């Protein structure tokens, strides 16, 4: 733990060195990868120093990093697969939802550390509406992708998206509307993880009819 078993300066030096090596190696593969990883390193530093204490900014920062992670192979290989961008957007939206839900779950601890997260600034009720907005955007995206897959004859992918991703998203929305206790939001955070796994597994069918 930094500050107890690990010297803070040593930890910061290791962070800078490892980040620099990562950015350098990715830049050797392709300049655009180096730029993306440099931006990611800067965002992580900003999140640690400031963003995580600011309403919605911290949530969007983590979601942006998650979406960028999905895009990295495509940025290097340049296959032209449009589905990669859909998955990246889906990862962004679902991560925003989960980060907002986690803020509600952890609002007592965040308040003790003077964080200005959404539930602290807006209250739980308005925060649930914000999470619901991103969840609705994700549901529309998944529904569109699933129907498009069916139209193109990709039955396995379409069925997977509509039955194993979209339907649980609807259930998540219902539970979000009813949630009013910390344990409810902890359960919602777990549901988001399951949905992330279901979305990732759908990639197995993305290239097959």
Bridge-partner residues for 116, per DSSP? 54
CA–CA dist 94, 198 (Å, integer): 12
- The two three-digit tokens of residue 171, written as one number: 């259930």
CA–CA dist 138, 24 (Å, integer): 34
List pLDDT tens digits, range 165-176: 999 999 999 999
List pLDDT tens digits, range 60-78: 999 999 999 998 888 888 8
Helix (H) or strand (E) holding 80: none
List pLDDT tens digits, range 167-206: 999 999 999 999 999 999 999 999 999 999 999 999 988 7
Residue 85, pLDDT above cutoff 60: yes
For the entire predicted model, the pTM comes to 0.90
Residue 209, pLDDT above cutoff 60: no
CA–CA dist 201, 36 (Å, integer): 25
Which residue shows structure tokens 């949905």?
195
């Amino acid at each position: 733990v930094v500050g107890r078993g690990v010297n803070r300066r040593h930890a910061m030096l290791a962070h800078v060195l490892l980040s620099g090596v990562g950015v350098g190696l990715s830049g050797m593969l392709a300049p655009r990868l180096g730029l993306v990883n440099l931006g990611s390193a800067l965002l992580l530093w900003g999140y640690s120093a400031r963003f995580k204490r600011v309403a919605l900014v911290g949530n969007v920062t983590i979601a942006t990093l998650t979406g960028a992670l999905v895009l990295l192979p495509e940025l290097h290989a340049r296959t032209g697969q449009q589905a990669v961008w859909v998955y990246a957007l889906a990862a962004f939206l679902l991560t925003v939802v989960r980060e907002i839900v986690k803020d509600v779950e952890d609002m007592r601890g965040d308040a003790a550390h003077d964080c200005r997260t959404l539930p602290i600034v807006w209250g739980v009720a308005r925060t649930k509406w914000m999470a619901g907005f991103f969840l609705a955007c994700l549901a529309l995206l998944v529904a569109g992708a699933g129907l498009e897959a069916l139209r193109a004859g990709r039955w396995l992918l379409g069925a997977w998206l509509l039955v194993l991703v979209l339907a649980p998203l609807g259930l998540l929305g219902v539970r979000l509307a009813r949630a009013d206790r910390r344990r409810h939001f902890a359960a919602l955070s777990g549901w988001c993880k399951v949905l992330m796994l279901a979305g990732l597994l759908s990639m197995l069918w993305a290239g097959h009819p």
